[in-house]
Amino acid sequence: MTLIINGETNTVTDGITLVQLLDQLNLSGKPVAVELNLEALPASVIEQTSLSDQDRLEIVVLAPGG
């Protein structure tokens, strides 16, 4: 299946979840903000979010400081 992640086309395993994708991107356990198809996702739903072919994601790693 194909996902658009931060503007780049990526091929991933069919049926992948957002948590699995974050793990593949080495972002597990890091503070991230995720937008899925132009909708910001609350952190509380990231673990339950399934992804579909052609989904568009923007993933930002949050960093402390100013």
The domain spanning residue 48 has which CATH number? 3.10.20
Inside any domain, residue 36 = yes
Inside any domain, residue 64 = no
Inside any domain, residue 39 = yes
pLDDT digit string (tens) for 25-61?
Answer: 999 989 999 999 999 999 999 999 999 999 999 999 9
pTM over 0.95: no
Print the domain residue range for 16. 2-53
Inside any domain, residue 63 = no
> Number of folded domains in the chain?
1
Cα dist from 29 to 1, 25, 54, 60, whole Å: 25, 11, 25, 13
How long a stretch of residues is the chain?
A: 66
Cα dist from 18 to 4, 5, 24, 66, whole Å: 13, 11, 10, 28
